[in-house]
């Protein structure tokens, strides 16, 4: 990964891109690269944080384990996504587990460097206040839009969430494919594999999605969005 590629990662973020170029370059100078192999853990819930991450390649699974020991996946994060900023800002433990689902390349902005940046340049605070507010709005949305939906509605909402990402709005949409097993999907909406299988195939017959082995592709996004109303 060369410098221009790294700069691009910063420019891709709605908040970091507000920083003057020389500040970005300062952050890049102290940032580190990290490569995770498939299945490797990045951090666990409760870990203390070393910094904030951006994915330059690969896929990270953000999840935690519920009281029955079942893994509940919050979301997957992919190229260009920044994450892990909460613990960086408040110095408290990680809220989730993060695993690499495939070989992944990450950029790490160290916590101390970032905190020093803010300390030395308090006028940058508002950018990151807004960044945090945005996170809150997204999670509120998740809570609100899930409540009151039928199972089919929840499934549709979840599929959209999985392609668009739980992360910050305004991303240019990539492929509309989701690599996920029906069992994982079932876990996410607190349902059974069999029911999810039935519902997915119903959507498949209506040509709204295409169901494959370990893979779902969204064909008709409008229809899917309409289903989120039920």
Residues that bind DNA (CB under 7 A): 150-152, 181-183, 190-195, 197-198, 200-201, 211, 213-215
**Distance from C-alpha of 60 to C-alpha of 87, rounded to nearest angstrom:** 17
**Distance from C-alpha of 185 to C-alpha of 72, rounded to nearest angstrom:** 10
**Distance from C-alpha of 209 to C-alpha of 207, rounded to nearest angstrom:** 5
Asked if 220 is part of the footprint of a copy of itself (rule: CB under 8 A), the reply reads: no
Q: State the binding partner of 202 from DNA, a copy of itself, none, CB within 5 to 8 A by kind.
A: none
Residue closer to a copy of itself, measured from CB, 44 or 211: 44
Break the chain down into helix, strand, coil percent, rounded to 5. Answer: 45, 20, 35
Residue closer to a copy of itself, measured from CB, 5 or 229: 229
Element at 32 (helix H, strand E): strand 32-36
- Residues 98-137, one symbol each (x = binds a copy of itself by CB under 8 A, - = not), give --------------------x---xx-xx-xxx-xxxxxx
Asked if 223 is part of the footprint of a copy of itself (rule: CB under 8 A), the reply reads: no
Beta bridge partners of 177: 217
Residue closer to a copy of itself, measured from CB, 28 or 72: 72
Task: Kindly state the tokens that stand for 93.
Answer: 């433990």
Within 14-170, residue ranges assigned H as helices are 21-30, 85-90, 111-120, 125-146, 151-164
Q: State the binding partner of 213 from a copy of itself, DNA, none, CB within 5 to 8 A by kind.
A: DNA
Asked if 66 is part of the footprint of a copy of itself (rule: CB under 8 A), the reply reads: yes
CA angle 36, 40, 44 (to 5 degrees): 110
Residue numbers at the binding site for a copy of itself (CB under 8 A)? 64, 66-68, 70, 72, 74, 86, 89-90, 92, 95-96, 118, 122-123, 125-126, 128-130, 132-137, 139-140, 142-145, 147-149, 187-188, 190, 228-230
């Amino acid at each position: 990964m060369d410098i221009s590629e790294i700069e691009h990662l910063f420019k891709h973020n709605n908040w970091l891109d507000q920083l003057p170029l020389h500040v970005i370059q300062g952050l890049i100078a102290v940032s580190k690269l990290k490569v995770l192999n498939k299945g490797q853990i990045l951090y666990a819930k409760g870990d203390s944080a070393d910094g904030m991450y951006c994915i330059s390649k690969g896929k990270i699974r953000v999840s935690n384990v519920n009281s029955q020991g079942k893994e509940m996946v919050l979301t997957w994060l992919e190229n260009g996504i920044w994450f892990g900023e909460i613990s960086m800002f408040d110095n408290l433990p990680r809220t989730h587990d993060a695993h690499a689902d495939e070989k992944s390349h990450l950029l790490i902005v160290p916590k101390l460097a970032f905190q020093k940046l803010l300390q030395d340049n308090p006028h940058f605070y508002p950018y990151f206040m807004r960044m945090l507010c945005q996170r809150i709005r997204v999670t509120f949305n998740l809570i609100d839009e899930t409540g009151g939906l039928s199972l089919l509605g929840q499934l549709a909402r979840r599929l959209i969430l999985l392609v668009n990402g739980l992360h910050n709005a305004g991303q240019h949409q990539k492929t509309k494919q989701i690599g996920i097993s029906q069992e994982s999907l079932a876990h996410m909406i607190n349902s059974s594999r069999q029911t999810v299988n039935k519902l997915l195939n119903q959507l498949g017959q209506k040509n709204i999605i295409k169901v494959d082995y370990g893979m779902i592709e969204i064909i008709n996004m409008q229809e899917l969005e309409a289903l989120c109303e039920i």
